[in-house]
Structure 1
Amino acid sequence: MGPGDRLVTDAVRRCGPWPAVLAVTAVAGAAGELAVPYLVGRTLDLLLDRSPGAASALTLCAGVLAVVVLCESLGGWAKGASSAYAAARLRLGVLRHVLGVGRAATRRFPEGDLVTRAGLNAEEAGRAPETVTGALALLVPTVGALIALTLIHPLLTLTLGVGIVLIVFVLRAFLRATTVISGGYQEVQGEIAARLVDALDGARTIAAAGTAGQEARRVLAPLPRLRAHGMALWRANATAGVQSGLVIPLVEVAVLAAGGLMLAAGRLSVGDLYAAARYAALGAALSTSLGHIGGLARARAAAARVADVLTLPPVRHGTRALPPGPGTVEFRDVAVDGLTVGDLTIPGGTVTAVVGRSGSGKSLLAALAGRLADPGRGDVLLDGVPLRELTHAGLRRAIGYAFERPVLVGDTVGEAIAAVPGSQTVREAATAARADAFVRRLPDGYDTPLDETPMSGGERQRLGLARAFAQGERLLVLDDATSSLDTVTEREVSRALTGDPRGRTRLIAAHRLATAARADQVVWLEEGRVRGTGPHDVLWRDPDYRAVFQEGRS
């Protein structure tokens, strides 16, 4: 059993009470359907014999039919509820897992593809309880029909059994083929979504360059493959439908022929022959499960794509707490993904600027310091404790992180800065990030809903900085987090950083000369290695170091 099938099984098993409701209604409805042919046949015999019990038998038939209708209604309602419950549970699980994995998730899967897997594919996989229960429910009338025909005459059972074996072979081949084709179809859907997200992310650049037509063609380039998979699905359905459709009348004719011969020989009554015909139709109704089998195939294929995401290893955290300390960061023989840091110490309470040309590894070094990435070799320590060994809460409380393009999370502007928006810490952090003035101009200040707050790139960066100031107790990591600020605001923020009254360690991935000049020390990266460390004025004597800023390529 593969990961996708295990996920389907888990979705059915852990879907609350709905699979039980589906099973009960399916079994009760199937039992009612099995009873109807017998009851109708018995009633027919009583009516032909003018028996006084015919009226009671007719009433019983109506009652059983009412039960069947009720079970079908409840089953339809339970199907929708089970699918919604399973899909919601899968989506929540994927979302939590992706957030727990962190950057590794987007390195493995494009963002648009991740959205497709967490959304469309999770919904498709969430239909597993409905499809599995529906397919299994069709076995009840099939098995019941075989038993009932055995009670009428074993020869009729043998005739129906041969037809059922043929139907099972058709369904098995259909399930295998449709699972593969559905997987290909869903893969192309994810590819188109990934291209679309990339295009939307660069919408301004595309509009400015006048390349909308070319970009549309690039996004829709996989459509022919999507069409090919869709046509293959249609052909598989049509082929299986024709094959199973041919078996049903053949089975019914064979049962009727055998029953007719026995009726002529006086071994069956007219009611028995009618019941046998109905039971043959019920038994062959297994072929009508093509819809359920197709749904199961799509659920299996979708579950396999969801399971690919869930197999990504999440970031593991330890159980240790930080001892008292100044916030000293140590890199010990660190190397990862083309960046070799080796041994490097950032003294507690100091400001360290990381400079280098584009692609030199500035953002990766910052990510290592904030444990948004783990080294492939070596360890990163904060006050003597490896970051891997810290608890999740302790790690995030100790380190504040600000990005070039911060994503603001929360219902209000205040919540985007800290979980307790009314606290004094929020205002102090906003003031340090030079965000307090524009926040106060908003209609409701810090209580203004975030989605009703139009912000420039610089204002958004200032809120991201405020969030880092409010969160980090020992270390602030700024990854190009002042790039959208004007010169005056950037200078004011830099003063707040260099003169932090709380004495926190500050690590800044910098691209401006002024930022490096104000730092206590500079870490100079070149081609994925530490080229030099020391004060800015000392490194400035090296013409290669000066070229980093003079060429404007940091």
Structure 2
Amino acid sequence: MLKKQTDGDLSSFIYLIKETNPSKSKLSCAIFMSTIMTIVGLFIPLFTKNLVDHFSIHSFNQNTVMILVIAFLAQAIAGGFSIYLLNYVGQEVVANMRERLLAKFLHFPIAYFDNHQTGEMTSRIINDTAIVKNLISNHLTSFATGVISITGSIVILLIIDWKMTMIMLCTVPLSLCILLPLGKKMVQVSRGTQDETAQFSAKVTQVLSEIRLVKSSNAEPLEYQNGTKGIQNLFQLGVKEGKIQALTSPLISLIMMALLVVIIGYGGMRVSSGALSAGELVAFILYLIQIIMPMAQFSTFFTQLQKAKGATERIINALHSKEENHQSGTILNKATKPLIIKDLTFSYEENKLVLQQLNFTADGGKITAIVGPSGGGKTTLFSLLERYYRPSHGEIRLGDLSICSFSLSSWRSQIGYVSQESPLVSGTIRENICYGLQGKISEEELHHAAKLAYAHQFILQFPNGYETEVGERGIKLSGGQRQRIGIARALLRNPQILMLDEATSSLDSKSEIYVQKALKNLMNGRTTLVIAHRLSTVIDADKILFMENGKITGQGTHNELLASHDLYREFAVEQLQLSKNHPPESLYIEKTSPVL
């Protein structure tokens, strides 16, 4: 379990990396190679010192050349291996983080998605993890080798000439006075950039996914204006970051160059006085360069570290959010018993009830219809049956057992849901019908479900048949075709509980006929709950519930409600007769056919 640390500190970053369990052998090998490369680099100035102090044609022989070549080759090979291994580890870490985040997002309850935009979650998986990977792959090695190089160089410089070394070390406090305040400012800018990037991603995702609405509403100028605001905000934050970098790098370089001039001038005086040899001065300058170069890299490293710490904070917050437990509970094999809703109350927001004290029973194998004005809580009731949310009060039982006692995966496997517009995923017709089912589905099973859904015939009319691509959200298919594929999907799951939410309301008359026939096949022998605004589609239901303002104000058969419920009678007059001049007795029916 990941320890909760959301303050964006370094310990959170280190702990998050540990949680991804990177390859310790590869990481150790990379650090070892970098250390070898750095140590070899520390001996080159000493070799140069001896070469300058004792230079002659006779001393510059083949062995000297070979030693130099071997040293440079060792540095190059060790550096290459180190870079490759660190990149491998970085990719390993980011892949693990993305897997964990993806698994987390897929198991979040619906309530989480109600409060978070899709683009923000996408940014967590892609952008934030990439920032962490960039730090590990491109900057961690330079920081580790820089520490070794600076430490080793200072030790050797103290041996060569401690006075000049102390002059050099006087610049350290000055450098820290520059880096620390600018680093704090960079943290603020980095967090703002990541937040703004997430919001911009969310906006772009929303606009592009609803591009037909944008175009049909002539809203391109509005969305362009909204989008450019996000772009400008990112631009301004990028400029601020550039200003900080523009201050950091030149100031550090100025300090280092001034130090180099001082060392050369002071060192030249010591050489002329005989206190220092020419070779020692050359070595001192080379070691100083080995200190200056890592110091310049440190400023970049700390900038990236601040970004990574901000990304870490967001990743940890996501990993700590509560998720659904799909496996805990009793395995449900058959949901044939009646659904009993007892004292069911629910609210999305505190003190704003959506459902109030619902009590009814949906008998097994029977059809229960739910009608009433829009906004009465009908779809919310379906969401509670799917266990997208937990009731504020009361419970839903299957027979004598609460539905919460069953594992979430086994409960949802018993439910077939067909909405007003059956959602499809980008892919083939086959993939959409088989969506979510584990194991291999035979051609006979697939075709049988499609035939019962009255989809088989139109599918075969496509050149690629069941391999036809449906496009994003099924845009290449008509509304009736999408509905029938959704019904085929439900049939293939063979659910015991069926929930229909205005499944035919948006269709033309011809498509509706096919979909109604398919729904009759689907409802046969199943516990069915139907949300409907048109009474003509549900007047034959075994039970009708009338919902208004989150309450059930009447229940019974069509004839019973017609006799006892004033608002239901008003609905019936408006929809079934279209005129109050006809006698109410003409609205009473004899049950002769199934619903829909």
Partner residue, 2:362: 346
1:506 aligns with 2:565: no
1:390 aligns with 2:406: yes
Aligned partners of 1:354, 1:18: CA distance in 2, in Å? 62
Partner residue, 1:438: 458
Residues 480 and 512 of structure 2 are in contact (CA less than 8 Å); yes or no, is this contact kept in structure 1? no
Partner residue, 1:190: 198
Residues 501 and 532 of structure 2 are in contact (CA less than 8 Å); yes or no, is this contact kept in structure 1? yes
Aligned partners of 1:307, 1:11: CA distance in 2, in Å? 11
**Could you list the per-position Cα deviations for residues 408-460 of structure 1 after superposition, in whole angstroms to 9, with x for gaps in the alignment?**
35854223222434254433332332222212323343344555983112212
Pick from 472, 480, 483: which aligns with 1:461? Answer: 483
Q: Give the count of matched residue pairs.
A: 551
Secondary structure at 2:40 match in 1: helix
Pick from 2, 6, 15: which aligns with 1:2? Answer: 6
Q: 1:387 to 1:56 in 2, by over 3 A?
A: farther
Pick from 209, 217, 240: which aligns with 1:209? Answer: 217
Partner residue, 1:528: 550
For 1:39, the aligned partner's letter is: F
Pick from 120, 129, 136: which aligns with 1:122? Answer: 129
Q: 1:228 to 1:504 in 2, by over 3 A?
A: same
By how many angstroms is 1:502 displaced? 5.7
Q: 1:7 to 1:442 in 2, by over 3 A?
A: farther
Secondary structure at 1:158 match in 2: helix
Partner residue, 1:64: 71
Aligned partners of 1:319, 1:442: CA distance in 2, in Å? 44
Partner residue, 2:593: none
By how many angstroms is 1:37 displaced? 1.4
Partner residue, 1:97: 104
Q: What does 1:468-487 correspond to in 2, within 5 Å?
A: 468-487=490-509
Partner residue, 2:393: 377
By how many angstroms is 1:78 displaced? 4.0
Q: What does 1:228-267 correspond to in 2, within 5 Å?
A: 228-257=236-265, 259-267=267-275
Residues 32 and 68 of structure 1 are in contact (CA less than 8 Å); yes or no, is this contact kept in structure 2? yes
Partner residue, 2:331: 321
Q: 1:33 to 1:313 in 2, by over 3 A?
A: same
**TM-score by structure 2 length?**
0.83
Moved more, 228-237 or 15-24: 15-24
By how many angstroms is 1:523 displaced? 2.9
**Could you list the per-position Cα deviations for residues 209-253 of structure 1 after superposition, in whole angstroms to 9, with x for gaps in the alignment?**
323212321232233322221111011111111221222123334
By how many angstroms is 1:309 displaced? 2.9
Pick from 536, 552, 561: which aligns with 1:539? Answer: 561
1:301 aligns with 2:310: yes
By how many angstroms is 1:3 displaced? 6.3
For 1:308, the aligned partner's letter is: N
Secondary structure at 1:442 match in 2: coil
By how many angstroms is 1:157 displaced? 3.7
Aligned partners of 2:308, 2:207: CA distance in 1, in Å? 29
**Could you list the per-position Cα deviations for residues 488-512 of structure 1 after superposition, in whole angstroms to 9, with x for gaps in the alignment?**
5435544554565762211223233
Partner residue, 1:163: 171
Q: 1:534 to 1:62 in 2, by over 3 A?
A: same
Q: 1:326 to 1:205 in 2, by over 3 A?
A: same
Partner residue, 1:106: 113
Pick from 18, 32, 45: which aligns with 1:37? Answer: 45
Partner residue, 1:288: 296
Aligned partners of 1:136, 1:332: CA distance in 2, in Å? 64
**Could you list the per-position Cα deviations for residues 12-59 of structure 1 after superposition, in whole angstroms to 9, with x for gaps in the alignment?**
6633365445423432222232222122222222325x6647643343
Structure 1 alignment gaps of length 5 or more = none
Q: 1:449 to 1:197 in 2, by over 3 A?
A: closer
Q: 1:315 to 1:325 in 2, by over 3 A?
A: closer
Q: 1:288 to 1:530 in 2, by over 3 A?
A: farther
Structure 2 alignment gaps of length 5 or more = 577-596
Secondary structure at 1:532 match in 2: strand
Q: 1:410 to 1:241 in 2, by over 3 A?
A: closer
1:415 aligns with 2:431: yes
Q: 1:63 to 1:426 in 2, by over 3 A?
A: same
Q: 1:434 to 1:491 in 2, by over 3 A?
A: same
Q: 1:262 to 1:54 in 2, by over 3 A?
A: farther
Q: 1:498 to 1:522 in 2, by over 3 A?
A: farther
Moved more, 51-60 or 36-45: 51-60
For 2:372, the aligned partner's letter is: G
Partner residue, 1:336: 347
Aligned partners of 2:571, 2:209: CA distance in 1, in Å? 29
1:154 aligns with 2:166: no
By how many angstroms is 1:272 displaced? 1.7
Q: 1:285 to 1:536 in 2, by over 3 A?
A: farther
For 1:137, the aligned partner's letter is: T
Q: 1:511 to 1:94 in 2, by over 3 A?
A: farther
Aligned partners of 1:165, 1:404: CA distance in 2, in Å? 68
Percentage identity across paired residues of the two chains: 23
Pick from 12, 31, 36: which aligns with 1:23? Answer: 31
Q: 1:437 to 1:264 in 2, by over 3 A?
A: same
For 1:336, the aligned partner's letter is: S
Secondary structure at 2:387 match in 1: coil
Secondary structure at 2:78 match in 1: helix
Q: 1:310 to 1:545 in 2, by over 3 A?
A: farther
Secondary structure at 1:518 match in 2: coil
Moved more, 447-456 or 358-367: 447-456
Aligned partners of 1:467, 1:442: CA distance in 2, in Å? 19
Secondary structure at 1:127 match in 2: helix
Q: 1:526 to 1:42 in 2, by over 3 A?
A: farther
Aligned partners of 1:168, 1:123: CA distance in 2, in Å? 28
Aligned partners of 1:547, 1:197: CA distance in 2, in Å? 44
